[in-house]
Amino acid sequence: MASVQIADVRKAYGSTQVIHGVDIDIDDGEFVILVGPSGCGKSTLLRMIAGLENISGGEIRIGPKVVNDVPPKERDIAMVFQNYALYPHMTVADNMAFSMKLRKAPKAEIEERVSKAAQILGLGNLLERYPRQLSGGQRQRVAMGRAIVRDPQVFLFDEPLSNLDAKLRVQMRTEIKELHQRLKTTTVYVTHDQIEAMTMADKIVVMHDGIIEQMGAPLDLYDKP
Ligand code: ADP
Ligand code: ADP
């Protein structure tokens, strides 16, 4: 776990400024949701935390460390995408093990972490299947499994539920919250769905056109006239 500090962060694509001096302090273990309409800059901000986009100004810290110039692989983060990004030719177990294999982790440790993640996510009897043999919800669990196995300091979620049908979306909200209560990993989660934000977040950051419009606990934000 680690805190994440976003201080006066800006982003321009060419001459177009899309993030204008954003400040967010995320505590160790906090579950923060960035919410706002399409195009407001949520995904860009998340990708800057991941190191997948350069930042045009300001500073991002993960724990005590300024990560502005740290490449994605050296940031202790794991990202879950809406399109799952599973490897189609690998089994569930191999998908979950892949990043640890790349890092040349010992085989026994890989097996232990994969089996623990599978148990947490209810994937125990699906380990030998391929992604095409899974339902949407199961695929999303495998994508989360890949993130858990790495035991990162920070989880980043980019609209992870938007490809799922309404019923499964509600179920997965609960599962992701339970996962967070269990692991307490600092989480930054992007969605355009206000209900998702209300039901899942410790803190909601409402963005609009590259600025923060409101920030606070769900009840503090929406209880007021
Ligand atoms: P959101 O995730 O809230 O939908 P994005 O972060 O994807 O918003 O986009 C924020 C703004 O930045 C949008 O106006 C979008 O068109 C623009 N944008 C995103 N990526 C690029 C890019 N690679 N080049 C130019 N403009 C971009
Ligand atoms: P994995 O593939 O299990 O995510 P890797 O070790 O291949 O693990 O990931 C290396 C780095 O690449 C990660 O730290 C992350 O920042 C970034 N990354 C991981 N998955 C993706 C992805 N699907 N698209 C873009 N970047 C990614």
Would you call 20 helix, strand, or coil by DSSP? strand
pLDDT at res. 120: 86
pLDDT at res. 150: 87
Whether the CB-CB separation of 58 and 17 falls below 8 Å is answered with no
> Looking at the chain, how many residues does it have?
225
Query: Each residue of 91-132: pLDDT tens digit?
Result: 999 999 998 888 888 999 999 999 999 988 889 999 999 999
Ligand 1 centre distance from Cα of residue 16 (Å): 10
- pTM, 2 dp: 0.86
Nearest to 144 by CA among 128, 136, 155, 130: 155
Query: Each residue of 147-205: pLDDT tens digit?
Result: 889 889 999 999 988 888 888 889 889 989 998 999 999 999 999 999 999 999 999 99
Ligand 2 pocket: which of 62, 74, 99 to mutate (most atoms <8 Å of CB)?
99
Whether the CB-CB separation of 104 and 95 falls below 8 Å is answered with no
Q: Is 183 in the pocket of ligand 1 (CB under 6 A)?
A: no
pLDDT at res. 168: 85
Residue with CA nearest ligand 1 atom 15:
39
Q: What is the 3-state secondary structure (H, E, C) of 66-102?
A: ECCCCCHHHCCEEEEECCCCCCCCCCHHHHHHHHHHH
Nearest to 92 by CA among 134, 128, 61: 128
Q: Is 41 in the pocket of ligand 1 (CB under 6 A)?
A: yes
The ipTM assigned to this model is 0.69
Region 30-59: mean pLDDT is 97
